[in-house]
Amino acid sequence: MFVDIANIHIKAGDGGNGKVSFHREKFVAAGGPDGGDGGRGGNIVFVADTNLSTLADFRYKRKYLAENGQPGGANRCNGKSAPDLVLHVPKGTLVKDAESGRIIADISDDEPVIIAKGGNGGWGNSHFATATRQIPKFAKPGIPGESLDVTLELKLLADVGLIGFPNVGKSTFISVVSEAKPKIANYHFTTLVPTLGVVRIDDGKSFVMADIPGIIEGASDGLGLGHEFLRHVERCRLLVHVIDVAGSEGRDPIEDFNTINNELKSFSPELSDRQQIVVANKCDLTDEETLKTVREYFEGNGYKYFECMAAIAEGTRDVINYVASELDKLPPIVKYEPEPAPVEDFTVAKKRDFRLTVEDGAFIIDEAPWLLKILETVDPDDYESLQYFQRTLHASGIIDALEKAGVQEDDLVCVYDIEFNYVP
């Protein structure tokens, strides 16, 4: 099954919590705090795999979660960091933010790419010991790992794209110039998925050619199969436009050419400027006058023009030799640069959202998952721990929000399971 687009949810691992611990050893009095740090959560890593050609593995499994880091231990023992979760995708896969469409990464080479970073582990209480605070009874929680919905979009890595109307002979052409074995038959849309073939030249050079399934008028608006596969043309360095010069299905080859180019332009204006050569196929089924008319039209408009009979491999070698010489002059296959994330994605406010409601005179703070982690490390009976909690409320803007909502001295404030009277 050929699948070239998939939507998945990825979640990197959370960092492990820091440990609150005090050294206990025979003959060692007041050993002091020795809580270790939590381990780092696992990253979500994408790697290109040359053995894959579709995104079918992501069709049914849509959620990928990396492991969390282990919490810290006593005796300054740090928690174990979690292994990365590695996802294998075909070369040429774009990873996009599902909500905004922003390109996060282009998986087109052998370098692994971290898409979601695991959270760092929290500090153990040994970090918070000072000359005036010798018994810290609190530690920091682990930082949550990044979580996001992404769209995986495969854009084939091919040097040359074969385009043209259905049944003009594209599959026949690629079958005689490469080792590809596409399905060939005398009806429309015989080719239902893009076909890649490696074309080898006599001097040892080679390039990759892609047979793009039949594009028809209206393809950019979703008609036919072109809407599904036009994206695979975007990386091609050069386009080979195959036409049925004989008009064996009652169509005019020149009109066919212009129709396909209009669809490319509608889909992506950049594609209309991509270098094209024209290959007139089925020359044996037409007369010399028609060949002359078509030849004069394309050569008069500045296109490199070839005539061939792909079914018997007549004229195909001239096309391949010319394509190989042109590829030497063209820039490499397009690689998409990651787009920067919006600034607000990195603000503290984005990571520390909360909801404040007032019910029966009580000020209630909830919908703050990040705060739950901190509450786990707070000891209500320890003064220094409560000071740390108070500083967190100030830094996150909760105190400012309470004052803006009209909180007064001795008003009840509820932060999940912790209740206290407000003191300005």
Average pLDDT value for residue range 32-38: 92
Q: Binning pLDDT at 50, 70 and 90, where does residue 192 land? A: low
Cα 91 to Cα 193: distance, rounded to the nearest angstrom: 17
For residue 343, the model assigns a pLDDT of: 47
* Residue 158 near residue 234, CB atoms below 8 Å: no
Share above pLDDT 90 across residues of the chain, in percent, rounded to a whole number: 40
Q: What is the pLDDT of residues 121-140, one digit of tens each?
A: 999 988 888 887 788 888 88
For residue 2, the model assigns a pLDDT of: 66
Multiple choice CATH, 160-327, 3.50.50.60, 3.40.50.970, 3.40.50.300, 3.40.50.720: 3.40.50.300
Task: Please name which of 316, 384, 396, 323 lies closest in space to residue 137, comparing C-alpha atoms.
Answer: 384
Range picked from 92-101, 257-266, 360-369 for highest mean pLDDT: 92-101
Task: Classify domain 344-421 at the CATH superfamily level.
Answer: GTP-binding protein OBG, C-terminal domain (3.30.300.350)
Q: Binning pLDDT at 50, 70 and 90, where does residue 197 land? A: confident
Helix 316-327 with 170-177: angle, nearest 10 deg: 80
For residue 225, the model assigns a pLDDT of: 45
Strand ordering across the sheet containing 355-359: 355-359, 362-366, 412-415, 418-421
Residue 88 structure tokens:
């294998």
Q: What is the pLDDT of residues 244-299, one digit of tens each?
A: 998 888 889 999 899 888 888 887 788 778 899 999 999 988 999 999 999 999 99
Residue 214 predicted with pLDDT over 60: no
The model's pTM: 0.71
Residue 217 predicted with pLDDT over 60: no
Secondary structure (3-state) at 99? coil
Which residues of the chain form CATH 3.40.50.300?
160-327
For residue 183, the model assigns a pLDDT of: 53
Share above pLDDT 70 across residues of the chain, in percent, rounded to a whole number: 89
C-alpha pair distances (Å), 209 with each of 43, 163, 200, 305: 35, 11, 10, 18
Task: Please name which of 327, 321, 174 lies closest in space to residue 236, comparing C-alpha atoms.
Answer: 327
Which residues of the chain form CATH 3.30.300.350?
344-421
Average pLDDT value for residue range 93-99: 94
Q: Binning pLDDT at 50, 70 and 90, where does residue 196 land? A: confident
Place of tokens 């400027």: 273
For residue 350, the model assigns a pLDDT of: 45
Place of tokens 């990464």: 105
For residue 334, the model assigns a pLDDT of: 81
Residue 135 structure tokens:
């018994």
For residue 228, the model assigns a pLDDT of: 61
Residue 423 structure tokens:
């003191």
Q: Binning pLDDT at 50, 70 and 90, where does residue 188 land? A: very low
- Number of H helices and number of E strands within the chain? 9, 18
Residue 227 predicted with pLDDT over 70: no
For residue 348, the model assigns a pLDDT of: 39
Q: Binning pLDDT at 50, 70 and 90, where does residue 201 land? A: confident
For residue 223, the model assigns a pLDDT of: 45
Multiple choice CATH, 1-155, 2.60.120.10, 3.30.2090.10, 3.40.50.10950, 2.70.210.12: 2.70.210.12
Residue 220 predicted with pLDDT over 50: no
Which residues of the chain form CATH 2.70.210.12?
1-155
